[in-house]
């Protein structure tokens, strides 16, 4: 059993794992009860598990603990709260940009990272920026509106 220290939503934390290959996803969900991080595929194909690592969007389902150690991890819970959402969350709420919402956390995290890189995107740039995140409910048009709204906030 090894211990891994990292920063999580602004706090210093450590987690134990019997396997250095254990994906960050399971540690976030089961040791820290950060359930906003969603398991979608475990293959890095869908983006439902997206979190920020040192400010960049990564797939927590394929990020081993050994790689997360020493990094700064931000999850959807670290952005804002229902009472005080950050600008991306606020834009998603304003546009009612979810149906089942299972992809939403990953979508918001990917959007947050994208907007850091591309603060004033066009609609086409947002489409390309979110190409790796899947939404099965077909909420794409609202999500695009929400990201553009956030970019103006």
Partner 1 sequence: MITPILSRRDLLKTGGALVVGFAFDAALPRWTWAQTPAAGGHAGKPLDPSEVDSFLAIHPDGTVTLYSGKVDVGTGLRIAVAQMAAEELGIQAERITVVDGDTGVCPDQGGTGGSTGLTRGGVEVRQAAATARQALLALGATRLGRPAAELTIVDGEVRPLAGGAGVGVGTLIGDRRFSLKVDSKAPIREPARYGVVGKPLPRPDMPDKCTGHHVYVHDFTLPGMLHARVIRPAAIGAKLVSVDDSSVRGIPGVRVVRLENFLAVVASDEWAAVSAARALKATWTEWQGLQGSDGLERWTRAAALDRDQAVVNRGDALAALGGGAKRLSATYFWPFQSHASLGPSCAVADVRGDGSATIWSASQGTHGLRSNLSKVFGLSPDKVRVVFLDGSGSYGTNGGDHAAADAVLLSKTLGQPVRVQWMRQDETGWDPKGPQQLLDVQAALDANGRIVAWDTQMWLPAQAPGGRALLAADAAGLPQDHGQGAGLLTQNGDPPYQADNVRVLVHWVKDTPLQLSNLRAPGKVANVFAVESFTDELAAAARVDPVAFRLGRLTDQRAIDVLNRAAQTFGWQPRPSPSPQARQGRMLVGRGIAYVRYKQTENYVAMAMEVAVDPASGRIDVRRVACAHDCGLIVNPDALKNQIEGSIVQTISRTLHEEVTFDRSRVTSVDWASYPILRFPEAPQVDVVLIDRPDQPLLGAGEAATAPVAAALANAIFDATGVRLRTVPFTLQRMKAALSAGSTA
CA dihedral for 77, 95, 124, 137, sign (positive or negative): positive
Please give the DSSP secondary-structure letter assigned to residue 81.
Answer: -
CB of 113 to partner 1, least distance (A): 15
Q: How many Å apart are CA 74 and CA 9, to the nearest integer?
A: 5
Query: What is the footprint of partner 1 within residues 77-116 (CB under 8 A)?
Result: 77, 79-82, 85, 89, 92-93, 96-105, 108
Q: How many Å apart are CA 85 and CA 29, to the nearest integer?
A: 21
Q: Does 5 bind partner 1 (CB under 8 A)?
A: no
Query: What is the footprint of partner 1 within residues 10-49 (CB under 8 A)?
Result: 17-19, 22-23, 26, 29-30, 34-43, 45-46, 48
CB of 57 to partner 1, least distance (A): 14
Q: How many Å apart are CA 146 and CA 100, to the nearest integer?
A: 16
Q: How many Å apart are CA 104 and CA 89, to the nearest integer?
A: 10
Instruction: Return residues touching partner 1 (CB under 8 A).
Output: 17-19, 22-23, 26, 29-30, 34-43, 45-46, 48, 75-77, 79-82, 85, 89, 92-93, 96-105, 108, 126-144
């Amino acid at each position: 059993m090894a211990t891994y220290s990292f920063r999580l939503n602004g706090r210093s934390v450590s987690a134990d794992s019997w396997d250095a290959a254990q994906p960050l996803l399971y540690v976030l969900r089961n040791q820290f009860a950060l359930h906003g991080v969603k398991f979608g595929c475990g293959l890095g194909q869908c983006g439902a598990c997206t979190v920020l690592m040192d400010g960049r969007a990564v797939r927590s389902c394929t990020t081993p603990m050994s790689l997360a150690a020493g990094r700064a991890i931000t999850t959807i819970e670290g952005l804002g709260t229902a009472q005080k959402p950050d600008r991306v969350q606020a834009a998603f709420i304003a546009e009612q940009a979810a149906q089942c919402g299972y992809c939403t956390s990953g979508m918001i995290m990917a959007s947050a990272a994208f907007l850091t890189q591309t603060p004033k995107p066009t609609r086409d740039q947002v489409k390309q920026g979110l190409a790796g995140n899947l939404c099965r409910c077909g909420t794409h048009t609202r999500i695009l509106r929400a990201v553009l709204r956030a970019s103006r906030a």
